[in-house]
Amino acid sequence: MLGFRKSAVALSAVVLPLLLTGCSSSSSSSAGGEETAGTGRNWVVVDEGNPTASPEVTFGTAAPTPSITLPPLPTGSVPPAATPSSTCTPMQRIKTINGLAVDPGSTDAVVTWYHPGGGNIVDYRITAVSQNLVVGLQKESEWTQSVPDKCGDVSATVTGLEPGTPYIFTVDVVMKRANFSLEGTYTQTVARSGVIRTT
């Protein structure tokens, strides 16, 4: 029993100083912690205000779409049939290819078109192109020449056609060049038919 007491006293002598040291270090660190907290940032106290209303978005009135008025399109017109006493208007420039009147026969066809007159026209050349497909060697295209002496409707007969064959007829005009610095002539198509079948 006496030995137990001695052991307790000895243990107390060793443990007690350790406990005291721990308490002093804990209190010193606590004091140091307070000093550290005291040197931090200052708190800013903000009064609670009233929220501002969101801005209202106002839209303007849309302007009406401007209306566009287009001018009327020009209407096509068939050239008037001229009489021998009418005034002819020389052809200066080919703007459009006109239609062509064709009266087909068995091996020929009568083609009619309008001739405006003018000294710059040399002659007309009428061709008939077969629309039948041909395998191998193709037939040479030939034309019928016409030299009108006055303005007005002109007719020419195209011969050498095949019976029951579809053709497209074309009238080309041969004209002198308007520019005097250039010599020679040039050709332009002035009239063309649809597909016409011989009888």
pLDDT of residue 128: 96
Q: Which fold has domain 98-197?
A: Immunoglobulin-like (2.60.40)
Ordered per-residue pLDDT tens for the chain, 199 residues: 555 555 655 566 666 666 665 555 444 444 444 555 556 677 777 777 777 777 777 777 777 776 666 667 655 544 444 444 446 766 666 677 888 999 999 999 999 999 988 888 899 999 999 999 889 888 888 999 999 888 889 999 999 999 999 999 999 999 888 776 677 888 999 999 999 999 9
| Domain extents in the chain | 98-197
Task: Give the pTM.
Answer: 0.54
Is the separation of the CB atoms in 169 and 111 below 8 Å?
yes
pLDDT of residue 131: 93
Q: What is the 3-state secondary structure (H, E, C) of 84-124?
A: CCCCCCCCCCCCCCEECEEEECCCCEEEEEEECCCCCEEEE
Residue 169's nearest CA partner among 140, 199, 198 is: 198
- Residue 105 CA to residue 61 CA, distance in Å, equals 72
Residue 121's nearest CA partner among 44, 174, 65 is: 174
Residues in the chain: 199
Is the separation of the CB atoms in 144 and 167 below 8 Å?
no
